[in-house]
């Protein structure tokens, strides 16, 4: 159990969900550190973005913590805990009780294929409307997700567009226009963000229950899905 937490790096994004509220209450914050066997420590969420949620963060509140490990497999980990202490100095932090169990599952299952597929990535807000979008390239793809990359706005010839701030856990739609004229749309979740000076790379996980769309992506752009299945058997 501790082995998963030991792989976290200071400053890495984690997602906190407040349990027991009638409305979804999740926020992104940064991992600060851990006292093994006692506390998992994170920053208090940004008041400008999560001001309304901060009033629900006090001692004894049950929460769920989720984070992604970018190891050789790529894992999403989660555990249940309670807020043990809320500390105000030297900075506002949440001390969470050490978890009894950490659950994990591999994100990238199955064989991945190199690709070069132009696509459009649209970030969704809480009401499912598009609040930002960018033209990108799918670099590789599997049955469960893909890697996307695009040139940052400030590095492009047209630098009038504002850069998009991506975070793990954000919901996106990926639209691929195939040479056949068909359009494939895939609902996805951002699981990895790597922002360099000139380009941004996203690792995304496809939502479940999209087998037909995923089949269309493979059969229309890359490889027959039946051949893929046979190669894994």
Query: For residue range 171-206, what is the model confidence (pLDDT) as tens digits?
Result: 999 998 876 677 889 999 999 999 888 899 999 999
Q: Which residues of the chain have pLDDT under 70?
A: 1, 21-24, 70-74, 106-111, 154-162, 179-180, 219-233
DSSP state of 162: P
Q: How far apart are CA 16 and CA 63, in angstroms?
A: 7
Residue in 218, 226, 150, 230 with CA at minimum distance from that of residue 186: 218
- What per-residue confidence (pLDDT) applies to 50? 78
Question: Cβ–Cβ contacts within 10 Å for residue 200, how many?
Answer: 20
Rg (CA), the chain: 19
* C-beta of residue 19 within 8 angstroms of C-beta of residue 63: yes
Selection from 69, 66, 55, 53 nearest residue 96 by Cα:
66
**How confident is the model at residue 227, as a pLDDT?**
38
**3-class SS of residue 91:** coil
Q: Does domain 113-228 have CATH number 3.10.450.50?
A: no
What totals of helices (H) and strands (E) does the chain contain, helices first?
4, 13
CATH topology of domain 2-106: Pnp Oxidase; Chain A (2.30.110)
- β-bridge partners, 75: 69, 106
What does the domain layout of the chain look like in residue ranges?
2-106, 113-228
Report the C-alpha gap between 147 and 112 in whole angstroms: 10
Phi and psi (nearest 5°) for 2? -65, -25
Query: What per-residue confidence (pLDDT) applies to 160?
Result: 44
The closest of 174, 180, 155 to 213, measured between CA atoms, is 174
| 3-state secondary structure (DSSP) of residue 230 | helix
pLDDT at position 228 is 40
Residues 6+ apart with CB under 8 A from 120: 133, 134, 135, 136, 174, 175
Identify the pLDDT of residue 174: 95
CA atoms within 13 A on the CB side of 216: 16
28 contacts 13 by C-beta, under 8 angstroms? yes
Q: For residue range 67-78, what is the model confidence (pLDDT) as tens digits?
A: 888 665 567 889
Instruction: Kindly report the average pLDDT of the chain as a whole number.
Output: 82
Contact of 222 with 180, CB cutoff 8 Å? no
């Amino acid at each position: 159990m501790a082995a998963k937490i030991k792989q976290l790096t200071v400053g890495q994004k984690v997602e906190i969900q407040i349990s027991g509220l009638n409305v979804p209450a999740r926020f992104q914050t940064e991992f600060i550190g851990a006292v093994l066997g006692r506390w998992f420590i994170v920053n208090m969420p940004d008041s400008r973005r999560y001001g309304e949620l901060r009033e629900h963060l006090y001692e004894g509140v049950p929460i769920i913590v989720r984070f992604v490990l970018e190891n050789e497999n790529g894992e999403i980990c989660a555990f249940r805990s309670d807020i043990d202490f809320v500390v105000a100095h030297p900075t506002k932090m949440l001390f969470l009780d050490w978890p009894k169990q950490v659950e994990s599952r591999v994100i990238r299952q199955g064989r991945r294929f190199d690709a070069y597929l132009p696509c459009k990535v649209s970030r969704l807000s809480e009401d499912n409307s598009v609040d930002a979008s960018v033209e990108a390239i799918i670099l590789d793809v599997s049955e469960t997700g893909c890697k996307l990359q695009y040139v940052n706005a400030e590095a492009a010839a047209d630098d009038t567009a504002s850069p998009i701030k991506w975070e793990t856990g954000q919901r996106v739609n990926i639209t691929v226009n195939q040479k056949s004229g068909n359009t494939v749309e895939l609902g996805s979740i951002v699981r990895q963000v790597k922002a360099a000076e000139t380009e941004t790379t996203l690792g995304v996980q496809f939502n479940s229950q999209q087998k037909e769309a995923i089949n269309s992506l493979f059969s229309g752009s890359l490889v027959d899905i039946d051949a893929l299945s046979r190669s894994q058997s």
